[in-house]
Amino acid sequence: MSETREYSGHVEPGGAAIRRTVEVDGATVEVRKLSVGPMDNNVYVLHDTASNEALLIDAANDAPRILREVDALDVRAIVTTHGHWDHWQALDEVADATGARVWLHPADAELVPRRADDEGADGSMLRVGAASVRLLHTPGHTPGSVCLLLGEHHLFTGDTLFPGGPGNTFGDADAFRTIMTSLRERLFALPDGTWVYPGHGDDTTLGKERPSLDEWQARGW
């Protein structure tokens, strides 16, 4: 495993997780990132080191691999960032094995076979030990896409924002306008130093991406 000082935001599919520790709400939270499945999906584990409680973001694929990663943790919740199939292939197995509550925005409920225990509505607050996680409804990629804000500066964006632009809206002009509104009004309202953990690929920051907003708008994707 990588040491905290070596955290780069890059993981290899099927490879070891990388870890960093961050201070949130007076708590020490370990962020783990691993990549699973044929579409290089990122899975994130937020672990409060004092209580051993954890939250899992996107049980995307390879349930045995995910379960090995969280084996010693008390996983309380699994949040699915949106309803596309590559983000929930391992959801049933991981949820059943851990007993964690499943969160999903109701607008994407028809896309996911497993019924959510909790509605991941805008502004919903989850706790990971002493740390807080807030859900932000960011429609566009799908109607029920959500991002998760850990504390004030750690943003898990699913397929809403990547290095280099918004998530795919599949040529739908209305969906593209919607996702750009989500970016401008919800995500880029946060400080430039906010670290972005996307659903696929490497990490970035809002400050690095902000100068490209108008370019993305003009290109239409």
Q: What is the chain's pLDDT, residue by residue, as a tens digit (221 residues)?
A: 333 346 889 999 989 999 999 999 899 999 999 999 999 999 999 999 999 999 999 999 999 999 999 999 999 999 999 999 999 999 999 999 999 999 999 999 999 999 999 999 999 999 999 999 999 999 999 999 999 999 999 999 999 999 999 999 999 999 999 999 999 999 999 999 999 999 999 999 999 999 999 999 999 99
Residue with tokens 């306008």: 177
Residue 180 near residue 172 (C-beta atoms within 8 A): no
Rounded-to-integer distance, Cα 162 and Cα 198, Å? 6
The whole model's pTM is what?
Answer: 0.96
Chain centroid to Cα 203, Å, comes to 11
SS3 51: coil
Please tell me the CATH code under which domain 4-219 is placed: 3.60.15.10
List the structure tokens of 10: 């890059």
